[in-house]
Chains A and B, each alone.
Chain A
Amino acid sequence: MALKITLITGRTINQGVSIENKTGQDYLKATACCELNSKNIGILGREPGSNVRVKTDYGEVVVTLKENEGNPDSIGFIPMGPWANAVVDPDTRGCGMPGFKGIPADVEVTDDKVLLMKELIAGYK
């Protein structure tokens, strides 16, 4: 079953700490995740730390579930980085800025693995 969310992307402190070390595990852990509140995670029937596939009109990506009780129902947050950018809206609506926030998305459980940075970018070549 897919959970329908509005996706936003943005900064976190751990994303910042590892931003100059993007080949490392710390960066993967800090950015390849999707934060939902416990109620939404409960709807998916999985525990934090398990993998989910996030799908939008612009792409799909596998990330790890993370709990954040600050998120209202149906708001998902992926820290900025290659995994978030796999699913954001590339259209700038004529003003230069792509759609990094407010993207309709489906979240579903998966047993597929989270791609490493090099594997993710290799998919674009």
Chain B
Amino acid sequence: MTVITDALCPFCGCLCDDISVVVEDNKIVDVKNACKIGASKIRGHHRIKSPMIRDDKNSDFKEVSYDEAIDKAAQILAGSKRALLYGWASALCEAHKKGILLAEELGAVIDNTATVCHAPSALAIHEKGVPTATLGQIKNRADVVIFWGCNPVHSHPRHMGRYSVFPRGFFSGKGRRGRKIIVVDVRKTNTAGIADEYVEIQQGSDYLIISALRAILSGHEDVVPESVGGVARKDLLRIAAILKEAKFGTLFFGMGLTQSKSRYKNIDNAISLVTELNSFNKFIMMPMRGHYNVTGFGQVCTWETGFATAVDFSSGAPYYNPGETAANDLLYRKEVDAAMIIAGDAGAHFPANSVRELAKIPVVQVDPYWNPTTEVANVVIPSAISGVELEGTAYRMDGVSLRMRKMIEPEHLADEEILDRLIARVREIRGE
């Protein structure tokens, strides 16, 4: 029996780094300190046992060797004119680098799961920049914390305990009692249940409410109507006063902003609000990143290409224009003639319209698990679980890079090795 301490959890953007696992005969038999979701991922589920291929998506798969599956995948990708390489959030940064190289080699488009998550935040940040901090700074300093359009009780269960609500820090010795918690949402979530102030807004009115708060803070409360987006003016005045009086304020935001009407313009407006609050105090903001290394893909892609995601290599140079080069736009316009879905599940998390399009084109899947993408795949290459069976680099939601630890030995190939072999085979097929 081996006990591994201070391991990192490979589920969400919190990257909790205090996990203990007990290993017996290369199996994880106990997980300590992780939340319900993290423990479930670390303990493991049914795996895809063997590489598989099929020509007809309505027929059964045939089990094949890794060599045969990688060759078939390379034939599909090398023969494509406009391939989409999508996923990446559950892979390590070392694999991201290889994926970007493959995209460049193919003249493909590479996009990651942020496209249905926080890509609108990246777009807004490109326009305006963002005042932000590390989770450690927040733990040690924050006295006012807003959760806007996010529900960490469900999506990031240890976030509030480790970083944002309950912990006692260097300048926040009172812990929860020293922090004012504000939740803004369209429904009373479990996170709203622990808030000091719950602001229920009409769905899709985030931009209006942010604008009203900005008007109040800039001394123009006279232009704010009696009710904005379902929130009474007197309540907006009270919230604005709390924000203004904060010593170190933090705005955490989620899909309630990025997926609602106005999309990236909600974030753009929120950046302006937080920037303006800095004329009164210290105020920062941070997206609640979902997958444990979705932030890492943005980092690697930015240093490799200059852009965080949705990068099109078809002209030979990286080009980025979400709305044109993002995965769902390409599928909506039926532009893609082959796809590789790796460390992400487009079959489950894309609109039906996009999944219908994936069902029509050759699809390569690289993933540890059987999921809806498998159902529309022609080639399935099972991979090791990064952060459980592989060590490597991941980025926490605040952009801090951490080293994931290996807990058990893998029985499947690593994403990085699969990509290395794909790149080599694609080059052979193309005669390079």
Interface residues of A (CB under 8 A from B): 6, 8, 10-13, 16-24, 58-59, 68-72, 75, 77, 80-82, 85-102, 117-118, 120-122, 124-125
B372–A22 CB distance below 8 A = yes
Instruction: Bits for B303-333, please: 1 = Cβ < 8 Å to A, else 0.
Output: 0000000100000000000110011110010
- Chain B 188-230 residues near chain A, CB threshold 8 A: 188-190, 192, 200, 203-204
Output the residue of A24, A89, A97, A120 with the most chain B CB within 10 A.
Answer: A97
Q: List the B residue with the shortest CB-CB distance to A93.
A: B263
- Chain B 358-372 residues near chain A, CB threshold 8 A: 359, 368-372
Tell me the complex Cα distance, A37–B204, Å. 20
A96–B310 CB distance below 8 A = yes
Q: A22-B369, A96-B310, A117-B372 are in contact. Are A82 and B347 (CB under 8 A)?
A: yes
Tell me the complex Cα distance, A12–B152, Å. 9
CB distance from A87 to the nearest CB of B (A): 8
B351 interface residue per 8 A CB criterion: yes
Q: A16-B37, A17-B40, A95-B263 are in contact. Are A124 and B355 (CB under 8 A)?
A: yes
Q: A13-B153, A22-B345 are in contact. Are A95 and B187 (CB under 8 A)?
A: no
A81–B332 CB distance below 8 A = no
Q: A96-B326, A98-B259 are in contact. List 9 more A-B contacts (CB 8 A).
A: A11-B290, A13-B155, A20-B40, A22-B348, A85-B352, A90-B353, A97-B119, A122-B58, A125-B57
Q: List the B residue with the shortest CB-CB distance to A18.
A: B40
A97–B351 CB distance below 8 A = no
* Complex contacts, B40 vs chain A, CB 8 Å: 16-18, 20
* Complex contacts, A13 vs chain B, CB 8 Å: 36-37, 153-155, 157
Q: List the A residue with the shortest CB-CB distance to B154.
A: A13
* Complex contacts, B372 vs chain A, CB 8 Å: 22, 82, 117, 120-121
Q: A72-B186, A100-B259, A101-B255 are in contact. Are A21 and B352 (CB under 8 A)?
A: no
CB distance from A108 to the nearest CB of B (A): 19
- Chain B 258-283 residues near chain A, CB threshold 8 A: 258-261, 263-264
Interface residues of B (CB under 8 A from A): 11-12, 36-37, 40-41, 45-46, 57-58, 115-116, 119-120, 123, 151, 153-155, 157, 186-190, 192, 200, 203-204, 255-256, 258-261, 263-264, 290, 310, 322-323, 326-329, 332, 345, 347-356, 359, 368-372, 375-376
Tell me the complex Cα distance, A104–B204, Å. 12
Q: A10-B255, A21-B369, A125-B57 are in contact. Are A85 and B155 (CB under 8 A)?
A: no
Q: A96-B123, A97-B116, A118-B375 are in contact. Are A90 and B328 (CB under 8 A)?
A: yes
CB within 8 A of B203: which of A86, A98, A101?
A101
Tell me the complex Cα distance, A92–B259, Å. 10
Output the residue of B36, B203, B261 with the most chain A CB within 10 A.
Answer: B203
Q: List the A residue with the shortest CB-CB distance to B329.
A: A92
* Complex contacts, A20 vs chain B, CB 8 Å: 40-41, 45, 368-369, 371
A17–B57 CB distance below 8 A = no
CB distance from B75 to the nearest CB of A (A): 22
CB within 8 A of B349: which of A12, A80, A95, A120?
A80
* Complex contacts, B263 vs chain A, CB 8 Å: 93, 95, 97
Q: List the B residue with the shortest CB-CB distance to A89.
A: B351
Q: Show 20 A/B contacts (Cβ-Cβ < 8 Å), sorted by A.
A: A11-B151, A17-B36, A19-B37, A20-B45, A20-B369, A20-B371, A24-B46, A58-B353, A70-B188, A72-B187, A77-B187, A89-B351, A90-B353, A96-B120, A98-B328, A100-B259, A101-B255, A102-B203, A102-B204, A124-B376
CB within 8 A of A85: which of B41, B190, B348, B375?
B348
B356–A16 CB distance below 8 A = no
CB distance from B149 to the nearest CB of A (A): 9
CB within 8 A of B154: which of A16, A23, A95, A117?
A16
Tell me the complex Cα distance, A122–B41, Å. 27
Tell me the complex Cα distance, A74–B36, Å. 31
CB distance from A125 to the nearest CB of B (A): 5
* Complex contacts, A11 vs chain B, CB 8 Å: 151, 154-155, 255, 290
